[in-house]
Amino acid sequence: MFTAPEILVLVAIAVLGHVMALFWYLADQAKLKMCERTIYDLPIDAGQIRREMRNSLHAPIHAVILAAFLYLGFFKSTSWTSFIYSALMTTVWAEVWHYGSHRAFHLRALHWIHLEHHKSRLNSCLTAISFSFTEKLIFDIGLLGPLAVADHFLGLNAFGIAGWYVGYLVINSFSHANFELKSKSFNRWMGKVLTSTTYHSLHHSRYTRQLRAGHPHSRSHLQDGMGRLRSAL
């Protein structure tokens, strides 16, 4: 069965997405300094919040799938060495899988899988955990399945894999914030290579179902004059 540390870690990664959503809600309500540079100064429809709340109910599926692999005897190594290389291997594979799957989900034939996430044109505190059940299932099985195969040869550590999930859930919540957190100089130079919160907000606001060759950006569907993009790109 499960050890006490395994249960604690599984519960932690199950609820972390919602904890981060609550963090952004409270930070916005408190008008913290980090929330000063709003990207889109527009009201978010109550219907979007209700829809994202419903979608968030299946957001912890990654913890369920990881628990299933643990129950079946996978990822049982416990050494510090296995923790480190498991975390590194998960990070590398997650980058490859996330990029490939996300690009694929923007192809016309597969976009129905990703469509639910892009119904949110403006990012709220819940957008980072608002995906269709199908997308969550495909992403997490596609992430953990190959790692389970590697586990047969290398002996992976569940805590190293969970460590990646912690980083992912925190960073993903920052990426979907409606506030630019990086400096103007970052967006002017490093922002051309590494993504910023503004970039991902544009990815949502410029969404259109009439995708062109699978490219994630197309023309804007926000009406001119609806609001202002206050962060300097």
Task: List pLDDT tens digits, range 44-79.
Answer: 999 999 999 999 999 999 999 999 999 999 999 999
Contacts of 221 (CB under 8 A, 6+ apart): 121, 205, 206, 207, 208
Greater pLDDT, 205 or 224? 205
- Name the 3-class secondary structure at 186: helix
State percent of the chain over pLDDT 70: 87
CA distance 80 to 73: 19
pLDDT of residue 80: 96
pLDDT of residue 184: 72
Greater pLDDT, 9 or 42? 9
- Does residue 230 register a pLDDT over 60? no
How sure is the predictor about 181, in pLDDT bands with cuts at 50, 70 and 90? confident
Reported pTM: 0.86
Query: Alpha-carbon torsion 193, 109, 178, 125, what sign?
Result: negative
CA distance 180 to 32: 13
Greater pLDDT, 189 or 41? 41
- Does residue 222 register a pLDDT over 70? no
CA distance 85 to 106: 32
How sure is the predictor about 210, in pLDDT bands with cuts at 50, 70 and 90? very low
- Name the 3-class secondary structure at 36: coil
pLDDT of residue 187: 66
Pick the closest to residue 142 from 152, 154, 134, 132 (CA basis).
134
Range in 18-27, 118-127, 220-229 with the lowest mean pLDDT: 220-229
Helices marked H in 2-105: 4-29, 46-56, 61-71, 80-105
Q: State mean pLDDT over 137-166.
A: 98
Q: How many CB atoms lie within 10 A of CB 100?
A: 11
- Does residue 233 register a pLDDT over 90? no
Joined together, the tokens standing for residue 177 give 């914030």
pLDDT of residue 203: 83
- Does residue 219 register a pLDDT over 60? no
